[in-house]
Amino acid sequence: MKTVLTADELHAGVRRIAAQINAHYQNQPLTTIGILTGSVILLADLIRLIEMPLRVGVLQARSYHGATTLRGELTIYDELMPDITDRDVLLVDDIFDTGHTLHQVIQRMQDLNPRSIKSLVLLRKKGRQEVDMEPDFVGFEIPDQFVVGYGLDYQDEYRNLPYLAALEESDLR
Ligand code: IMP
Ligand code: MG
């Protein structure tokens, strides 16, 4: 495995986006919604740097690529989400890859009539985007490689690494 971003670099990036969030929303109450499971570490670090009145919720988004499902078909589990009607909502995800996850979650959230909805991702992979939308806040742009750590997994492992690493051929199974 090859380190892409150290723990210190990640934390500097989170401080940078938190400052942008604080400046953007000023003292307006905010509802952050983390997309499970990849966003848990980011969400925990980020919300402790947010200064306005804050509500925190989560939802799970899972895409299935089985033989009978379409590519990019997403199931959204929102039972753990607070009411977002008339609220300023900030969706938080680990990585913007093709963009389908965030795009579909935002479309679904619109039906619940939030006051506003914006999105934040720690990472954005270059040259992979397939949707016509941009995340509003981005921590880091990274090259097109598979990364793990700081919440991101490979087959449900490595989320606990405090740094971000790119998997190499010998790490795959
Ligand atoms: P998208 O819908 O293609 O933007 O993919 C977003 C989801 O795919 C993320 O929330 C991650 O769970 C997963 N993903 C995409 N790229 C990576 C990666 O390099 N490492 C780990 N997970 C990834
Ligand atoms: Mg994932």
pLDDT tens, 4-62? 999 999 999 999 999 999 999 999 999 999 999 999 999 999 999 999 999 999 999 98
pLDDT in tens, 58-94: 999 987 665 555 566 789 999 889 999 999 999 999 9
As given in the structure block, the two tokens for residue 44 are: 């925990």
Full domain range(s) for residue 97: 10-142
Number of domains composing the chain: 1
Give residue 90's pLDDT: 98
Specify whether 97 is catalytic.
yes
| Predicted TM-score (pTM) of this structure | 0.94
Ligand 1, closest atom to CA 130?
3
| CATH number for the domain harbouring residue 60 | 3.40.50.2020
Whether residue 52 is contained in a domain is answered as yes
Whole-number pLDDT of residue 65: 61
Instruction: Report residue 95 as tokens.
Output: 């990585």
Hey, whose CA ends up nearest to atom 17 of ligand 1?
Answer: 146
How far, in Å, is the centroid of ligand 2 from the Cα of 132? 21
Distance 148 CA to ligand 2 centre (A): 9
156 found inside a domain? no
Q: Is 89 helix (H, G, I), strand (E, B) or coil?
A: strand
- Please give the full DSSP string across 90-136, using - where no structure is assigned: EEEEEEESSSHHHHHHHHHHHTT--SEEEEEEEEEETT---SS---S
- Going by the DSSP 8-state scheme, the letter that residue 26 receives in this structure is T
